[in-house]
Amino acid sequence: MIEVSDALVDSEVITDASEEMILRDKFLMVLIKQKKYQRCDENYISKQIDALKTANNAENLCATYLLDKNTSECDGIEEKFGVIVLTVSNINNRRFIFKGDGFSLDKKTRYGLRYLTFKEKMSHPCNSMIIIDPYLLIKRELDAKSGSVKYPGIENNLESLLDAMLPSQLSVDFHLTVISCLEKHDEIKKVYEKVKKCLRRIRKELPVKLNLVYISTGYDHNIESFHSRHVLSNTFAIDSEDGLDLFDNNGYLTKNNPSVSVVFPRMFGDARQDMTKYYNWIGSVKKYVNEFPQFVYGNYDEGNNRLFDLVE
């Protein structure tokens, strides 16, 4: 059972829920008491949902929806727009959202599907994402037979990671920013095209605006946030202290028994878990791409990652 004291909501809550509906569930009663709760009638919420089809701002696409609708309608909204939709009828199936999840890996085990092995724990509604790992893309290998350059970080890790997390399709563009070191700055276009090819292979129906951001090795960039390894989205976050390049080409671990945590920082928190780090990570990325646009390749000029709208 969820502890009510853990339910500290930081995201905006948009709802058409009646008092009778809310009183049916202890958690929902706590949810609506938070500082960013916004009450509205059915006509208003319908307009908000319709606005999602063209919205580029974080207010609609990063909000949490608490709706007095049936489960199939709520599931449809989640699938179309990558937002979390709660209702009394599905709240018991969404308790993991308020507690987080995660998994540990065994050095002796072969994970043939790599991150897809844990898709059930990593696949949640989302419409935007930032992946930070300075060492995910830096290693490159020369294929002796073909003479072509391979990037094990993409083929052995990033592809299965994205395949486990990204929605199959959305009615809005998915915003994806990948931040990593490269052996040479002039590789950024080549690596970008390989990531794009990967996305076309695993998500043909998903419109993705991709940005690849180059950072230097070590602490030359003076942003400590980039040394840590994170996946940030509009609904959940992933933390892996041992990095995201966990698998080799055979599916065996490259690290000793790492663990990966999946949390929902916009939905819960306490003295140990709050939104400060989450916002700091996003803010660091936004500041970097604004100060060093020459190290950004992709769709940046067409629209920033909508997660940037959450910070100044």
Check which CATH number belongs to the domain holding 275 and give it: 3.30.870.30
For residue 151, the model assigns a pLDDT of: 87
Are 288 and 206 in a shared domain? yes
Are 74 and 104 in a shared domain? no
Q: Could you tell me if 97 and 274 are in contact, meaning their C-beta atoms sit under 8 angstroms apart? A: no
pTM, two decimal places? 0.84
How far is the C-alpha of 136 from the C-alpha of 157, rounded, in Å? Answer: 8
Amino acid in the structure at residue 68: D
Are 52 and 173 in a shared domain? no
Are 289 and 188 in a shared domain? yes
For residue 150, the model assigns a pLDDT of: 84
Are 189 and 268 in a shared domain? yes
Final residue belonging to a domain, choices 48, 80, 97: 97
- Kindly give the pairing relationship between strand 37-39 and strand 13-15: parallel
For residue 85, the model assigns a pLDDT of: 84
Are 267 and 120 in a shared domain? yes
For residue 4, the model assigns a pLDDT of: 34
Amino acid in the structure at residue 262: V
Q: State residue 245 phi and psi, 5-degree precision.
A: -90, 65
Final residue belonging to a domain, choices 97, 124, 157: 97
Are 225 and 183 in a shared domain? yes
Are 147 and 257 in a shared domain? yes
Are 197 and 69 in a shared domain? no
For residue 248, the model assigns a pLDDT of: 93
Select from 151, 136, 114 the least CA-distant residue to 251.
Answer: 114
For residue 106, the model assigns a pLDDT of: 92
Beta-carbon count within 10 A of 42 CB: 12
Q: DSSP letters along 225-288, please? A: GGTS-EEEESS-EEE-TT-S--B-TTS-BSSSS-EEEEE-TTT---SSS-HHHHHHHHHHHHHH
The distance of Cα 288 from the centroid of its chain, to the nearest Å, equals 19
Read off the tokens for 133: 């790992």
For residue 109, the model assigns a pLDDT of: 95
| Number of domains the chain is built from | 2
* List of residues 6+ apart from 4 with CB closer than 8 A: 26, 27, 30
Regions of the chain short of the pLDDT cut 50: 1-10, 35, 219, 269-273, 302
For residue 241, the model assigns a pLDDT of: 85
Give the domain range for residue 158.
Answer: 100-310
